[in-house]
A and B are shown apart, each in its own frame.
Chain A
Amino acid sequence: MRIVIAKPGLDGHDRGAKVVARALRDGGHEVIYTGLRRTPEQIVRTVLDEDADMLGLSSLSGAHAFLFPRICELLKQEGCGDVTVFGGGIIPVDDRSELYRAGIRAIFGPGTKMQEMIDFVNEVKNRIDVGKPVGVGEGGDWFWS
C-alpha cells in the first residue's frame, strides 16, 4: 500500500508520526512522510499527487477535532473518497464517534502496538480485495476496533 503520514496542526513534535512511518515501512508498505504543520489543503494535495491508498493523521494537541473532519471533507471533494483515513495520537474517547462519522476508519491511542496498525492496514487491503467499503467517502459503518 502507499500510505501518506501527515501531521496537521501546530504542535512541533513528530516523533510518534515517524515511529509509525517506520513501522509501516517495516510492514512492507511505501510510506510518504510529509513533515510538520501541514494544512488540510496541503495534506490532501499530497494524497492526490502521490496517489496514496491510505492517509494516517497524527495529532497531539487537539487538532483532530476540527482538522481531521476538514481533511476528510476535502478528500471527498477532490474525488479521493476511496482513500482510507486513520488517526493517531491523543484523541479523547468522547471525540471518536464524531471522527468515525466523518469517515475515519481507525483511531489509535498512545501506546498502540505497531503490530496492531499493520494488522489494520492488512485488513483494509483484504476488504478492498472483496469490495467492502474502506474509503473515507465510501460509507458503511465499518471501523477498526
Chain B
Amino acid sequence: MVLGREQLSIEFVNQALSGNRRSLAKLLSSIENGELDSNSIGLDGHDDDGTIIGITGAPGVGKSSLIEKLISHWSTQGLKIAVIAVDPSSPLSGGALLGDRIRMDSADSNSNVFVRSFATRNQPGGLPKSVGLAANLMRKCGYDLVLIETVGAGQSEIRIVSFADRVVLIESPNSGDQIQAEKAGIMEIADLIVVNKSDLPNAERSAMQITSALQISGSPTCVLLASAKTGEGVEELASQLLSIPIKMGAEVARARERLLAAWASSLLSREDISKIINDISSGEVDAEKWVLNNLRWYDE
C-alpha cells in the first residue's frame, strides 16, 4: 500500500516511537533522502544533554572497533545504544562502501543496539544535515545514547560538533608524531582525546605528546589510552564519556560550526541551486560575485 507522505510519517513515527525497528529504519531512509524534516515528523529539538556523542578520527585508527567495545559495555548495563556510522560517498560514482558494521558484532545480534550506516552523499563539510535529525529521532525512539562515527578528513571532523553534544577524537600511536596544523581545529574542539591501540608500542609516548601540544596551545583536554583489541581503558572511556562537562571555550567554535552547517544547508536547499552550480561551473557566473549579489541580506 502506498501512503501519502504525511500519513506515512505520522504512522511510522508512532510505530518507531513505540519501538518498531522497521519503522525507524524506514523513517531514517526518508530523512536521509531529504523527504522529511523535523517539522514533518513532529520532533522538537534536542537539548545538549551529552547523549549524542561524535566519534571522529583518521581512517583506520579504530573508531568502529572502539564503538563496538563501548556499546557492548553500555548495553550490558541496560542502556540502549544507537550508532550512525558515516562513510564518504565517491565523488565520481556517487556510490559508497559502508563497512563499519564489520567491526560491530553487536550491530546484528543485540536487541538493545541499532546501527545505521549513512553515506555523506557529497554534502559540503562532509556531513549530511540529515545525520543530526536522525540522531534526534533515535534518541526519541528510546535509545539512551547515540554515537556518530565520522571519518576525519579536515572539515568533516569539525562539522560533527554541529550535531553532537560531545566530540571524541580517536588517535592511534605514532599519529601524534605529526600533529599537523589541520588537526589543530578538531583537537581544540574535542571534549576528549583517545589514543587507541594502546597494546601497540609508542602509545604512551603519543598520548604524552598530544597532552603537551594541547597545553602549549592553551586548551588542555583529557587524553586517555585505550585498546579496542584488549579492552584496556574501555571502561574508563565509557564512564568519562558520560561525565565530562562540555569543554570550556569550545562554545564559540561550536556555534561557528553550527552556523556554517545551517548556512550551507539553507543555501543548498534553494530551488535554483543546480542552475546556480551549473552557471558557476560553466564560467557564466562567478561564485564570489554571486554570493555578494544574492546573499546580501545582512545589509537590509
A45–B114 Cα gap in the complex (Å)? 10
Interface bracket on A: 20 to 34
Q: Which residues of B are found within 8 Å of A133, using beta-carbon distances?
A: none
CB distance from B87 to the nearest CB of A (A): 9
Q: Which residues of A are found within 8 Å of B29, using beta-carbon distances?
A: 2, 51
CB distance from A6 to the nearest CB of B (A): 9
B98 CB–A CB distance under 8 Å: yes
B117 CB–A CB distance under 8 Å: yes
B151 CB–A CB distance under 8 Å: no
Binds A, one of B18-26, B240-248, B251-259: B18-26
Q: Which residues of A are found within 8 Å of B59, using beta-carbon distances?
A: none
Number of interface residues of B (CB under 8 A): 25
Q: Which residues of B are found within 8 Å of A35, using beta-carbon distances?
A: 101-102
Residue from the set B29, B97, B109 with the largest chain A CB neighbour count within 10 Å: B97
B294 CB–A CB distance under 8 Å: no
Name the CB-closest residue of A to B87: A30
A27–B96 Cα gap in the complex (Å)? 10
The answer, among A22, A28, A49, A80, for a CB contact under 8 Å with B94, is: A28
The answer, among A24, A42, A79, for a CB contact under 8 Å with B108, is: A42
A31 CB–B CB distance under 8 Å: yes
CB distance from A121 to the nearest CB of B (A): 11
The answer, among B25, B93, B94, B95, for a CB contact under 8 Å with A50, is: B25
Residues of B near any A CB (own CB < 8 A): 21-22, 25-26, 28-29, 89-90, 93-99, 101-102, 107-109, 114-117, 119
Residues of A near any B CB (own CB < 8 A): 2, 21-22, 24-35, 38, 41-43, 45-46, 48-51, 78-80
